[in-house]
Structure 1
Amino acid sequence: MENTTEKDWYIYILRCSDNSLYTGVTTDLERRVQEHNDSPRGARYTRARRPVQLVYAEAWATRSLACQREAEIKQLSRPEKITLISKAPLG
């Protein structure tokens, strides 16, 4: 994880109700998870698979770094994503 500043960017992984995984980027994890669960502002993918649960997050100093990491995670296979999640579970 990179050093972070006051304007942290986060990549996150959600587990959807159908057990699929969704990866995204945000500056506010709590707000974004709420949007995925309760708002039309949630991603189209997650709107059809509610409720979702936050299962993984990393903080990055800039949007650029967060988006690069998001792209890396999106390239992982499902088993690789599950391993990533299991090595750093959320409290």
Structure 2
Amino acid sequence: MEPSLPSPFLVVSGINKGSNCGYHIVYSGTVAGAREAFFNDIPSISISYDWVEGKSNPHDFALAAGVCIPIISALLVEIKNQSYPGRCFLNIDVPNNVANH
């Protein structure tokens, strides 16, 4: 029998290449990862970067992550303080112009 592992405090799914808004959330693997955590009562967040072929570059992923760090940090504080609403997951779509800000 394998030892039981504790549940994670937060599941972060992503950052993936491509937007996950509108009907894309129905078939997105990134959103599905966060949704599965939600179904198991684990707070979760999915993060996507709106990659534009010929315009975006790999460094943009680091910029997109940087934009999300304050959100994730605030979420962890809410989880620790037990003020994060149960049965909830977030989906963040970072716009492709994040590199311009």
TM-score by length of 2: 0.30
> Which is strand-richer, 1 or 2?
1
TM-score by length of 1: 0.32
